[in-house]
Chain A
Amino acid sequence: MMHNLTANILSVCYLIGSISFIIGLKMLAHPDTARRGNQVSAAGMAIAIIATLILYQSDGMHLHNYAWIAGALVIGAVIGTVAARKVKMTAMPELVSIFNGMGGLCAALISIIEFSRLVPASPMLHILIISAGLVIGSVSFSGSMVAYGKLSGKVKDHAFSWQRSFNLILLTVVLLLGALLIRGGLPVSATYIFYTLLVLSVSYGIMFVLPIGGADMPVVISLLNACTGIATACGGFLYNNPVMLTGGILVGSAGMILTIIMCKAMNRSLLNVLAGSFGATASNVVSGKEEAHKEISLSDAATAMAYAKKVMIVPGYGLAVAQAQNTCHELEKLLQEKGVEVKYAIHPVAGRMPGHMNVLLAEANVSYDLLLDMDQSNAEFPTTDIALILGANDVVNPAAEDDPKSPIYGMKILDVSFSKMVIVNKRTMKPGYAGIQNQLFSQPNTSMLFGDAKDVLQKLITEIKAL
């Protein structure tokens, strides 16, 4: 009777957990309710975890090793909170990638523990689920770590000519080994195969992400996020645990859709991204000739902007690294006081992740209504007097539209050249993140304003105030 009661309460807690994930995710998809949605999911998660700790029973046995569990929970919670609180806004994408990798590692570790507990008579499907959890979890872990390295600039793009076939072979071997392990009845011990599988999966994760261009990392992280979701669902199957199953599958499918949406925003196919052609071709293009460009002085730029009717600010990663979002907001207010209409044109992949730029500008209290998405911005450029480009490069590169050889060909860009005047602020003439020359800089209505974004913005503000 007692056993039944606790089991029933546990089931209800899991149900609450699952529902909260669904509602939370739904709320996360709308700006007004997003924060609440995250809290709803977190609350559901807490209920599910606490209920497991207190109520979980298997064959009438409670869990044990509570000291170990409590210690691990405290360590994880402290490190997680500190890391998430301390991280700079610009480094958030990296941190998300690390956390995702941790989830994958967790799934792989669970598979290792459960594998060591297998008995000879274990059902085949049990082994299938454990192996799937191991492979997907490890790929997700090592892949996320490489993605983190790339975003933080610690790992460079590596591509070699036969890399695609190599990865394909590696993947085939992983699948074959997995199949052998599940079929059983082998001359070699299953343990060897299992650990070989682990090593190969970790290598595949590394090899899979390594050749993909740094600019495509958001897509990769989103894909690996979906992978970890599937690994979680494997765990749900393994323990017959509904909250893990629903949570995992939900993230798996939502993550897949999000990945596809992100690819669409860049007008590239997922396959194209995964083939890693981005990084490979970009390196060939860098050596291209440097185009002529003209510069504009700070005071000229200040005057032009102060007397313009409409200024569009196009922020990019350069703005983020210079931590110039607050200064940018100041300039925006100053111009508005002078009667200039100021808006922000946000490319979907501006910054290092979709929505990254919006988050940064929101941090600086820039009003939501001033942030235009790509279609809205492109409709407004023809009536814009000045497009001020702050540390953005690839997202305004016309090569994406008219150079089929360019690695970013096909990506939709912000058509800044339709505005009467384009002022480009960047630190040097060096090519952008994708490593490609930008024809925009040599167009007749474009002027360059070199310098650190924050520095330049501050000087512009002083100049405009002095007018």
Chain B
Amino acid sequence: MNTLLDFTHNNLEMFYVVMLSIFLGIEVISKVPSVLHTPLMSGANAIHGVIIIGSIIAIGETAPDNYLALILGFLAVIVGTLNVVGGFVVTDRMLEMFKTRKPITSKTTNDA
């Protein structure tokens, strides 16, 4: 119990960050049109790729002769990069298609 209290006290800022981030996440998403559900999921997917920083630190702090950890870290950085780069590129490709808009509707009203 004491350790838990200590931990909370020592990481109070972290807990505030967590709390506020939760509300931010909810706030940011709550009014999204269904059209954007897939791109949004994909974009959020890319953002959690920030885990790559953890993998860089993990491998960067590994002793140069600890080959098992190096290989694991190497893999971790590869999959982390896949998540980040692939995620952002695929989201961009989805959204690229939304940019072209032609005013077709005005034409139909003329016809009618």
Task: Tell whether A and B belong to one assembly.
Answer: yes
B-contact bits for A75-94, CB 8 A (1 contact / 0 none): 11101110111010000110
> A29, A98, A241, A242 — which one has the most chain B CB atoms within 10 A of its CB?
A29
| B77 adjacent to A72 (CB under 8 Å) | yes
What A residues does B81 contact at CB under 8 A?
Answer: 72-73, 75-77, 80
Give the distance in Å from the alpha carbon of A73 to the alpha carbon of B30 in the complex.
34
CB-CB nearest in chain B for A20: B47
A-contact bits for B17-37, CB 8 A (1 contact / 0 none): 110011111101111111111
| B44 adjacent to A25 (CB under 8 Å) | yes
Interface residue ranges of A40-56 to B (CB < 8 Å): 41-42, 45, 48-49, 52-53, 56
What A residues does B95 contact at CB under 8 A?
Answer: 34-35, 38
> B88 to nearest A CB, angstroms?
4
| B92 adjacent to A39 (CB under 8 Å) | yes
Give the size category of B's interface with A: 35 or more
Interface residue ranges of A102-121 to B (CB < 8 Å): 102-103, 105-107, 109-110, 112-114, 116-117
Contact residue among B21, B29, B51, B101 (Cβ-Cβ distance under 8 Å from A107): B51
Q: Please report the number of residue pairs spanning A and B whose Cβ atoms sit closer than 8 angstroms.
A: 397
Give the distance in Å from the alpha carbon of A116 to the alpha carbon of B93 in the complex.
40
| A34 adjacent to B36 (CB under 8 Å) | yes
What B residues does A247 contact at CB under 8 A?
Answer: 47-48, 50
B-contact bits for A217-252, CB 8 A (1 contact / 0 none): 010011001001101110111111111111111111
Q: Is A214 an interface residue (CB 8 A)?
A: no
> A80, A81, A87, A249 — which one has the most chain B CB atoms within 10 A of its CB?
A80
| B93 adjacent to A251 (CB under 8 Å) | no
CB-CB nearest in chain A for B38: A355
| B74 adjacent to A125 (CB under 8 Å) | no
Contact residue among B28, B48, B74 (Cβ-Cβ distance under 8 Å from A22): B28
> B57 to nearest A CB, angstroms?
6
CB-CB nearest in chain A for B99: A35
Which DSSP category, helix, strand, loop or mixed, fits chain A's interface?
helix
> A409 to nearest B CB, angstroms?
21
| A229 adjacent to B78 (CB under 8 Å) | no
| A237 adjacent to B82 (CB under 8 Å) | no
CB-CB nearest in chain B for A39: B92
Interface residue ranges of B32-66 to A (CB < 8 Å): 32-62, 64
What B residues does A123 contact at CB under 8 A?
Answer: 3
A87 in contact with B77 given A254-B26, A354-B34 (CB within 8 Å): no
What B residues does A114 contact at CB under 8 A?
Answer: 58
A56 in contact with B57 given A72-B81, A373-B34 (CB within 8 Å): yes
CB-CB nearest in chain A for B25: A253
| B111 adjacent to A29 (CB under 8 Å) | no
Give the distance in Å from the alpha carbon of A161 to the alpha carbon of B11 in the complex.
46
What A residues does B44 contact at CB under 8 A?
Answer: 25, 28, 225, 229, 250-251, 254-255, 258
Contact residue among B23, B45, B62 (Cβ-Cβ distance under 8 Å from A103): B45
CB-CB nearest in chain B for A246: B21
Q: Kindly specify which of A292-300, A363-371, A398-406 makes contact with the partner chain.
A: A363-371
| A244 adjacent to B47 (CB under 8 Å) | no
Give the distance in Å from the alpha carbon of A363 to the alpha carbon of B97 in the complex.
5
| B37 adjacent to A355 (CB under 8 Å) | yes
Give the distance in Å from the alpha carbon of A250 to the alpha carbon of B103 in the complex.
37
Q: Is A179 an interface residue (CB 8 A)?
A: no
| A21 adjacent to B47 (CB under 8 Å) | yes
A110 in contact with B84 given A45-B47, A258-B37 (CB within 8 Å): no
| B47 adjacent to A370 (CB under 8 Å) | no
| B50 adjacent to A248 (CB under 8 Å) | yes
What A residues does B41 contact at CB under 8 A?
Answer: 96, 218, 221-222, 225, 255, 258, 353
What B residues does A228 contact at CB under 8 A?
Answer: 45, 48, 51
Give 10 A-B contacts (CB < 8 Å), ordered by A residue: A21-B47, A35-B98, A75-B81, A92-B38, A99-B82, A103-B49, A109-B79, A257-B25, A261-B34, A355-B34
**9 tightest A-B CB contacts, nearest first:** A76-B81, A63-B60, A253-B25, A80-B86, A72-B77, A354-B37, A80-B85, A84-B89, A249-B21
Known pairs A109-B75, A253-B21, A369-B105; list 8 more (Cβ under 8 Å): A30-B32, A95-B90, A102-B79, A245-B17, A250-B28, A253-B26, A261-B32, A373-B35
